[in-house]
A and B are shown apart, each in its own frame.
Chain A
Amino acid sequence: MTSPSTVEPEETPWVSTRALGRAVLFCGLAAFTGVLLGRVDLVVLAAPFAIGVAWGLRRRPTRPPVVAAEIAEEDAAEGGTVELALEMSNEDKVPLDLVVGRLTTSAWLEVADGGRPYASDVGAAETGDRADGRGLRPSGSVRRVDLRATALRWGYQQVGPAVAYGVAGDGLLVSATVVAPALTLRVYPAVPPFRADQAMPRSAALVGVHRSRRPGEDGELSGVRRYAPGDRLRRIDWRVTLRTRDVHVAAFLSDRDAEVVVLLDVLHEVGTSGGIRGEASVVDTTVRAAAAICDHYLRQGDRVGLIEYSDPPRYLRPASGRRQLMTALDWLLDTQAGGGRGPAFGLDPSVIPNAALVVVLTPLLGPRSAEMIATLARAGRAVVAVDTLGSLGQRRLPGSRWTPVAQRLWWFERQNLIGLLHEAGVPVTPWIGPGSLDQVLNDMARMAAAGRIGAR
């Protein structure tokens, strides 16, 4: 993808520099004094300046150079490398002594050579067969600087604007600055390794990979039982039948898919993002964890939806497949910290399907987050809260001697809140990557099964 440059129409394409004024002034002073005093040596001092100006201005360009920013791919992964290019060209028939160009990038793109300006001489454009609208072929007068950058953080990162100016006449003339607009690079969040091997507490349709609690066909073997009318003959377990002298059949559990709704609580941002190599802020952890959960369940064939708890809330409807994974990653790029403002009317639980597992990624920093989780749990949704605050909550804060005391009180209050959520049936687990959800999913599945048995 390339963005060609433009120049402001009211700007003059080429102007003289201070060096030209200096040369003319020095030359005039020396020549005038030489004439006045009859001194040849002063005229000799003026001579190189006169010759230099005459030589430099014998051919003067009329068009400014053209600059363009280029990125090889429109998307990249966090921590991956991105190929960029700065292209400077001359569309004038006069060669340029220098074209100085710089490609500015987002602070989250680390350019290998430090994002410095590049200067190179650029030859004259030639008139050719493959002429553009202005009758010139700039292909022979192009300088291209290939750059490599590392994407340090997820999000929409700007590549550009690219700016350039030309220099002619040995520094006596300089062109107007031309600007190529910025390009947008999509940097997808790094997907940390994540696995959840435990069965889902609830499942939806009779397809999928999760072992359900219901008997079915061709799923996981659940045991051997006595033959009952309606059982298929091919299910008879002959070894057990011969040993027990009674017809026994193998029983299976059905495989089902699940619906997962990942709810991102980004009302508050804590910590400063250090990108892929530094410390993760709460929003960083939330987005990366959401990407990992989406990636895991969508690869299993489940349906995954996303909700951002912000003002106003954003939704991505549940769907399955590879396309949904790309859509979800795109959707995550727009995630921003909400500055503490939640949705004006809260979150409507009816937007979340009954059978869905709701994974709430939350730092649990405010009462609104706890209220939202409790509301979902009371509405009968299977909710798991994943604590995204991590070690940020235990960081020692600068302040007075009372700050550690206040911080400790706040910590106890938060632990109390987590305890209340546990009592409301919402397990809270810290985000630790692989296996973060296994223990809580196991507990929830057991609780769900126990509930059914009791009901019978």
Chain B
Amino acid sequence: MRVFLADLHYAGLGLLSRIRATVATLRRTTAAVLLLRVLVFGALLVAFMLSVPRAIVWLPVFPAVGVGLALPAALYPRTRAVGFALVTIAAGWLATTTFVDTNFAPARVLGLAAALYVAHAAAAFAAVLPNDTAVSPGALLRWALRTSLVVATSVGLGALGLVAAAWLPQAQGIVAPLLGSAVAAGIVAVIVWLARRPGRVP
């Protein structure tokens, strides 16, 4: 019993030191890094809310699930949690639009695309920054401008594609394969290009 109590005492001390270390880490966290993490969380939450059916989005369980997806990604942007959240939300969108909201507004899919990309980009930036990094405001501003540019271009092109598909309902079966094939070709080109260079290929 005495040994057990001593072990318990040491375990408590270890836990206390871990808590102290975590508090110290949190206290050193800078505003820029916190902003990026909040952006990851917020963007994923918005994306999740856009991906679930409108009729049941305000049920208490859905915000909880959204937080459950977004929070690990925001806390651990270097891990697979971000990729998992992105793929889960996209799968949710596919299920929602296939079985429930078959007629969705173009703004909703464009908003979802923008939110997913912002979450990804913010997580990519946050992943390379230690928690206590002092980031120069100029670097953060230029990142925000580049991300906005990518989002604006994508939203513009996506809107064009959606409008074209809506105007040519008879050609809708052709537009997706064409655009998809173009994107797939681009991905293959990127992978081939990476494979021919030194370094790790994802």
- Is B117's CB under 8 angstroms from A48's CB? yes
- B37 at the A interface (CB under 8 A): no
- B87 at the A interface (CB under 8 A): yes
- Is A54's CB under 8 angstroms from B183's CB? no
A321 to chain B, nearest CB (A): 47
The contact size tier of chain B is 35 or more
Number of chain A residues whose Cβ lies closer than 8 Å to a Cβ of chain B = 63
- A341 at the B interface (CB under 8 A): no
Per DSSP, chain B at the interface is: helix
Per DSSP, chain A at the interface is: helix
- Is A116's CB under 8 angstroms from B177's CB? no
- Is A170's CB under 8 angstroms from B124's CB? yes
Given contacts A26-B87, A44-B110, A50-B187, contact A39 B176 (CB under 8 A): yes
| Contact residues of B between 114 and 153, Cβ < 8 Å to A | 114, 116-117, 120-121, 123-125, 127-130, 132-136, 138-139, 142-143, 146-147, 149-151, 153
CA distance A27 to B136 in the complex (A): 31
CA distance A167 to B78 in the complex (A): 14
- Is B202's CB under 8 angstroms from A20's CB? yes
B111 to chain A, nearest CB (A): 11
Chain B residues whose C-beta falls within 8 Å of the C-beta of A35 in the assembled complex: 176-177, 180-181, 184
Given contacts A29-B90, A32-B180, contact A119 B129 (CB under 8 A): yes
Chain B residues whose C-beta falls within 8 Å of the C-beta of A102 in the assembled complex: 130
Q: Which residue of B lies closest to A49 (CB)?
A: B117
CA distance A21 to B83 in the complex (A): 9
Chain B residues whose C-beta falls within 8 Å of the C-beta of A34 in the assembled complex: 176, 179-180
CA distance A25 to B83 in the complex (A): 9
Chain B residues whose C-beta falls within 8 Å of the C-beta of A39 in the assembled complex: 94, 97, 176
Chain A residues whose C-beta falls within 8 Å of the C-beta of B187 in the assembled complex: 24, 27-28, 31, 50
Q: Which residue of B lies closest to A31 (CB)?
A: B183
- Is B158's CB under 8 angstroms from A55's CB? no
- A327 at the B interface (CB under 8 A): no
- Is A46's CB under 8 angstroms from B87's CB? no
* Interface hit among B14-22, B62-70, B191-199: B191-199
B189 to chain A, nearest CB (A): 9
A315 to chain B, nearest CB (A): 45
| Contact residues of A between 414 and 456, Cβ < 8 Å to B | none
A365 to chain B, nearest CB (A): 32
Chain B residues whose C-beta falls within 8 Å of the C-beta of A50 in the assembled complex: 183, 186-187
- A45 at the B interface (CB under 8 A): yes
- Which of A44, A55, A97 makes the CB contact (< 8 A) with B113? A44
**Closest 9 A-B residue pairs measured CB to CB?**
A21-B202, A171-B124, A19-B124, A35-B180, A48-B117, A48-B154, A44-B158, A121-B139, A31-B183
Q: List 18 A-B contacts (CB under 8 A).
A: A12-B198, A21-B202, A24-B191, A35-B180, A35-B181, A41-B93, A43-B179, A44-B158, A45-B116, A47-B183, A49-B120, A54-B186, A98-B125, A118-B133, A119-B139, A120-B136, A121-B136, A165-B128
A sample of 20 more A-B contacts (CB under 8 A), given A23-B120, A117-B132, is A16-B194, A18-B83, A22-B82, A26-B83, A26-B87, A27-B183, A28-B184, A29-B90, A30-B90, A39-B94, A40-B161, A40-B175, A43-B183, A45-B112, A46-B183, A48-B113, A57-B193, A117-B134, A170-B121, A170-B146
